Amino acid sequence: MSGQSYIRTEMLPEQPAPLGETGIPHWLRENMFSNWLNGIVSVVAMAFVAYVLYLFLPWAIQGTWGYGSRTECLEAVGGDAACWGVIRDRFNQLMFGFYPYAEQWRPMLAFVLMLVAVAPILFDKLPRKMLMFSALYPFIGAWLLWGGTIWTPLMVLAGFFIGYIVFRIAEGLLGDLVGIILAILATVIWWLFLVGPVIGFLGGTEATADAAATPGLLPWGIESVKSSDFGGLMLSLTIGTSGIVLSFPLGIILALGRQSDMFLVKTFSVIYIEFIRGVPLITLLFVAHVLLNYFLPPGTSFDLILRVVIMVTMFAAAYMAEIIRGGLAALPTGQYEAADALGLDYWKSMRLIIMPQALKISIPGIVGTFIGLFKDTTLVSIIGLMDPVGLTNAIRGTTDWNGIVWELYLFIAVMFWIFTFSMSRYSMYLERKLQTGH
Amino acid sequence: MAMADQNASGSFRLSMLIYDSRYRSMTIQVIVLIMVVLGVVWLVDNLLSNLSALDKDPNFGFLWETSGYDINQRLIEYSSQSTHFRAAEVGLLNTLLVAVVGCFFATLLGVSIGVMRLSKNWIVSRLMTVYIETFRNVPVLLWIVFAMAIFIEVFPQPKAFRGDNATAHMIGDAVAFTNRGIYIPRLEFHEGSSFVVYTLIASIIGIFLFGKWAKAHQEATGQILPTFWIKLGILIIPALVVFFVMGKPIQMFYPELKGFNFKGGLHLRNSLIALTLALVIYTSAFIAEAVRAGIMAISKGQTEAALALGLRPKRVMSLVVLPQALRVIVPPLISQYLNLTKNSSLAIAVGYMDITGTLGGITLNQTGRELECILLLMIIYLTISLSISMVMNIYNNSVKLKER
């Protein structure tokens, strides 16, 4: 039998796939022309795309970036091309509003630092120590934007340390519940009554109606910028980011409140959430605009942007709470029971067992809320703030650029699109990464 | 035993309020209650002292004063001599008009786009992806002002329709797109037209009854009737017969160019169309995503099982996939309807007089009653939102999977 075998011992060389089953023609037939109906649809769709591009591309490409006014531009290029000159001419305003030109490095630096602060939260491969910077960033960012004496952010920050120290002392003596209450009380008292005088003492005060300016002990600081000078993309980012950062913890607390066994806590949370979710944001912005000062002690008035941030935060927190509640409800009861069985108290079980899992489930929703919040910042144009949409009206009202429409709207749309689209892509990446199932 | 007695009746110490889990939650709730009450008292106290400083008192009497402003878009009778309350009513109806029309078209558009996004046709699914990502990632306010700009800048002036060498033409002599709005034919109801309307209503009831009967018939005999064509017949034929018997009591009035403007037809204002259009395209992108997610949530086994049973692909979709997908789709759909309704408050950006524009806009500015106006505004929106979510929740419960 040697040497005789009916079984092939070596592999045959691979043959090319039959003609028409590979390459571009095959792909086209499978995906665009699988039957006559599909074929017609494909042709119509392609014709549509071609038509839109035919309308848009020549207009956009033949447009000019020169010229300082619409009339000059129209004389030069005729009516059928874009006058991108408005973007070049007003770019600075669209980015920073009326922020003093000499100080514009500050918002830019704040933006770059924001990216640094956000990076360790977004990507867990980065060193964890960077989170320290993320925690400090809100104070640095606010100081860079508004300026003023350095003591303001430092003293506000000190409130947290005071609270923490009070908590550690009281917890040892009186238990954690009393500790939390006392810590909150101490912090609030510090912020409400003591921060102002301390800052005045260290950084100096500005002249008011009844008092002259006093020099501070250590008057370190940078030039302060009024909120009314804020505008453009910077304003959107400021309101959006502060809303996001502040609404997240508030949302967690509200979600826990709504899931709580305690009747009163639950009722208050439900009333708050359902009320806020039932009214449009614009009504809340009206409240910020005309009504909020009524609810504060007579004589207090603080600036519009701060009031808007407060209302936007309250608004976003209600949506955030519902998303996180969804995550809490989706966890199997076994997780809660197991945490109890381990002897963990409520806060520990929430912090170590429940929240990490619940937040993970809610990530798409949370990012969705953030995107919605960022888009909703455009609404502030209705109450007269100069965000990009508000600026379009201002720019179109000038004699130079009277009658300009598409170029501005397109630019702003693309600007927002870049931010929101990248956020939604990030959410998808995170979902894939955190998937622990199959 | 003695120890248990001692514990039960035992001396109550103050510290037990904090350390004993039986009293602990009560303590926390009392603290929360006190804090909330104190907070509310503080706010109300500030409010009252602020108001008294301004010589104002909370008072809704202004609602019955003459408003003194005109509203160009109205569904009910209104003039500048009407009260502020009437103005608010007009605004509320305008809000509801946009909400209802918007929800309807957003659902139609959203569902088609969601289904087309899952199309096997590469270019169609890509186009739909582009549609969704473009429209939902740009603020709705921008779309609203953008739509308004299109209407004002692109469409011709009414005078462009005039003369032999007109640069613009009406579509079929019936519809005119102008920069002042869209003019469409108006229906005029003459005597006897009520019979036609009644017949139409009776036909619709008949369609429901027929649908039920057809289903029962199918379950009893297995026979499938061509229900769509029969229903269409029931809808159209009796109404047409009555229409001609009564001597054409309903007539169409076409818009005509008279003087500087179109007359005779129905005038759909730019602000209404632009607002509705923008809300529809924006919301439809979200609905499309919900529909896509809902269909993809149905496991492939369901489709395969239905195909194995010998169902045609069309019926697989309508009898197996969609009814199940609907359960997943309805909750996000509800929240999109709510969002659309709330977003309609942005009407103020294009000057459409909805409830925010009347009560929260001109009435507020004229009377200076910020507190009352905004409070009413919030209550109205809250009522609308809660009603929508209640109705949709009832529906949601009826299609919910009945679990044992």
CATH number, domain at B286?
1.10.3720.10
Residue B170 belongs to some domain of the structure: no
pLDDT of B4 above 50: no
Instruction: Return the SS3 of B369.
Output: coil
Nearest-Cα distance to chain B for A294, in Å, is 5
Residue B286 belongs to some domain of the structure: yes
Residue B299 belongs to some domain of the structure: yes
Spatial contact of B54 and B76, defined as CB atoms under 8 Å apart = no
Q: Could you tell me the pLDDT band of residue B304, with boundaries at 50, 70 and 90?
A: very high
A-chain CB neighbours of B278 within 8 Å are none
Spatial contact of A201 and A185, defined as CB atoms under 8 Å apart = no
Lowest mean pLDDT among A249-258, B246-255, B381-390: B246-255
The dihedrals phi and psi of A204, each to the nearest 5 degrees, come to 90, 160
Nearest-Cα distance to chain A for B101, in Å, is 19
CATH code of the domain in which A235 resides: 1.10.3720.10
* Interchain CB distance below 8 Å, A277 and B385: yes
> What does the alpha-carbon distance between residue A323 and residue A371 come to, in Å, rounded to a whole number?
14
Count other C-beta atoms under 10 Å from residue A336's C-beta. 16
Instruction: Return the SS3 of B281.
Output: helix
User: So what's the pLDDT on residue A279?
Assistant: 92
- Residue B8 is inside which H or E element, if any? helix B2-9
Tokens of A131: 């989170």
Spatial contact of B178 and B235, defined as CB atoms under 8 Å apart = no
User: So what's the pLDDT on residue A312?
Assistant: 93
User: So what's the pLDDT on residue A215?
Assistant: 67
pLDDT in tens, A278-288: 999 999 999 88
Task: Residue B376: give the domain boundaries.
Answer: 84-152+270-399
Structural domains counted in chain B: 1
Tokens of A373: 């919040």
User: So what's the pLDDT on residue B5?
Assistant: 44
Residue A171 belongs to some domain of the structure: yes
HEC sequence for chain A: CCCCCCCCCCCCCCCCCCCCCCHHHHHHHHHCCCCHHHHHHHHHHHHHHHHHHHHHHHHHHHCECCCCCHHHHHHHHCCCCCECHHHHHHHHHHHHCCCCHHHCHHHHHHHHHHHHHHHHHHCCCCCCCHHHHHHHHHHHHHHHHHCEECHHHHHHHHHHHHHHHHHHHHHHHHCHHHHHHHHHHHHHHHHHHHHHHHHHHHHEECCCCCCCCEECCCCCEECCCCHHHCCHHHHHHHHHHHHHHHHHHHHHHHHHHHHCCCHHHHHHHHHHHHHHHHCCHHHHHHHHHHHHHHHCCCCCCCCHHHHHHHHHHHHHHHHHHHHHHHHHHHCCHHHHHHHHHCCCCHHHHHHHHHHHHHHHHHHHHHHHHHHHHHHHHHHHHHHCCCCHHHHHHHHHHCCCCCCCCHHHHHHHHHHHHHHHHHHHHHHHHHHHHHCCCC
Structural domains counted in chain A: 1
pLDDT of B1 above 70: no
pLDDT in tens, B321-352: 888 888 888 888 888 999 999 999 998 888 88
pLDDT in tens, B135-154: 999 999 999 999 988 888 88
Residue A81 CB contacts under 8 Å (≥ 6 apart), including other chains:
A58, A59, A62, A63, A64
Residue B369 belongs to some domain of the structure: yes
User: So what's the pLDDT on residue B2?
Assistant: 43
Residue A71 belongs to some domain of the structure: no
Q: Which of A36, A80, A279, A381 to mutate to test the interface with B (most CBs of B within 10 A)?
A: A279
Residue B243 belongs to some domain of the structure: no
Residue B352 belongs to some domain of the structure: yes
User: So what's the pLDDT on residue A99?
Assistant: 86
Residue B394 belongs to some domain of the structure: yes
Residue A398 CB contacts under 8 Å (≥ 6 apart), including other chains:
none
pLDDT tens digits, chain A, 438 residues: what are they?
A: 455 667 777 888 888 887 777 778 788 877 777 788 888 888 898 999 999 999 888 888 887 887 778 888 888 777 777 888 888 888 888 888 888 888 888 889 999 998 888 888 777 787 878 888 888 888 888 888 888 788 888 888 888 888 888 888 887 777 777 788 888 888 888 887 777 777 777 776 666 656 666 666 677 778 888 888 888 899 999 999 889 889 999 999 999 999 888 888 899 999 999 999 999 999 999 988 888 888 888 777 778 888 899 999 999 999 999 999 988 888 888 888 999 899 888 888 888 888 888 888 888 888 888 899 999 999 999 888 888 888 888 888 888 888 788 888 999 999 999 999 998 888 888 878 777 655
User: So what's the pLDDT on residue B403?
Assistant: 58
Task: Residue A416: give the domain boundaries.
Answer: 136-434
Q: Residues 250-269, chain A: which have Cβ within 8 Å of B?
A: 261-265, 268
pLDDT of B10 above 90: no
Q: Residues 3-32, chain A: which have Cβ within 8 Å of B?
A: 31-32
Nearest-Cα distance to chain B for A47, in Å, is 11
Q: Which of A294, A311, A417 to mutate to test the interface with B (most CBs of B within 10 A)?
A: A294
Short-list A225, A233, A78, CA closest to A147: A225
Residue B304 belongs to some domain of the structure: yes
Q: Could you tell me the pLDDT band of residue B129, with boundaries at 50, 70 and 90?
A: very high
